[in-house]
Amino acid sequence: MAFAILSSGGDAAGMNPAIKKFVDYCAKLQIETYLIYEGLEGLIDNKIKKASHKDVAGILHLGGTIIRSSRSKRFFDAKYRKQAYENLKLYNINNLIVLGGDGSFRALEVFSAEFAISFVGIPSTIDNDIYGTEYCLGVDTALNVIRDSLDKIRDTAASFNRAFVVEVMGRECGYLALVSSIVSGAEICVIPEVTFAQEELQKRLQKEIQNGRKYVLALVAEGTKQTTQVYEWIQETLGLEARVTILGHVQRGGNPSVYDRMMAFDFVINAVDYLRKNRQVQKVVVYNQGTFTFKEIQEISTHKYKLPQHYLKAINYLD
């Protein structure tokens, strides 16, 4: 019996600490381990290497993933899944840990249903949009990157009578934009989950500008596709000169935060222990209210993540 780990989809800070803990923890349990490079594409192309301490030494502080990642269209073709399984058989690998999102988990669900492979998914995405878990690996680091950028943008905004519109990532989920708005003191937050209340905001901000407000900070989630609209609205209705900043992929980078490192360790230990004790597993390890549990992949893949209601209510308190 051997275990392997791979990254799939978008990278997230915390993946490297997870990879290191996987190799180190399995070594203590005398479990043979392998690293699969370049995600599902690497699984198909047999980019599989037996892991050693040397492979993971000194990677805790690195962002991204040393085993690299990919998005694979080929994996949805049965002949390539069979090729991937034959590759795993060469190394006697029958247990996989997958660092990724719901798309990666769905791919492995199909794979493990066809072949004698067990897997546990570890939610790893800065979007924090996976159903069933309140936390995904990488989101804390991403939030800190955004927070640092917003603090610096506010410095220059305060030096002029200006508004800054900042677009953040998150796909169709407004988690990053909403939490970042709360902790940065943004005046405007536009996310997919809530209708942009233009008229109400316009009345409030116009009054504040008349009373001496010199600048405005607006955060827009990329999934709304409203960055340009918010920029034009601010200039036309509030009369402030505006600038747009799209943070982009800088949000995925950076040294993993202390919290992401600790969460990576706990996710991995729980995943490895579960695979050791169970057979024919198709699970995702999730974290809620301080506790790690396991959910069926079918439950994860058939439901959509929703922002907590108390977060949504917080939009009304932005000022």
CB-count exposure of residue 233 (10 Å: 0-12, 13-18, 19+): buried
Order of all β-strands in the sheet with 118-123: 48-50, 32-36, 2-7, 93-100, 118-123, 282-288, 291-296
**H-run or E-run covering 4:** strand 2-7
Q: From residue 145, how far is each of 45, 57, 96, 163, 201 by CA, in Å?
A: 34, 25, 31, 20, 27
Which amino acid, one-letter code, is at 205?
L
Catalytic residue, chosen from 102, 127, 129, 260, is 127
Strands 162-168 and 241-246: parallel
Structure tokens at 67: 């085993």
- Residue by residue, DSSP assigns 88-109 as HHHTTEEEEEEEE-HHHHHHHH
- Residue by residue, DSSP assigns 151-201 as HHHHHHHTTTTEEEEEEE--TT--HHHHHHHHHHT-SEEE-TTS---HHHH
Give the single-character DSSP code of 253: -
Strands 32-36 and 48-50: antiparallel
Question: Is 77 annotated as catalytic?
Answer: no
The residue whose two tokens read 């209340």 is 197
- What helix, strand, coil percent values describe the chain, rounded to 5? 45, 20, 35
Q: How many CB atoms lie within 10 A of CB 265?
A: 19
d(CA 272, CA 95): 9
Active site residues: 127
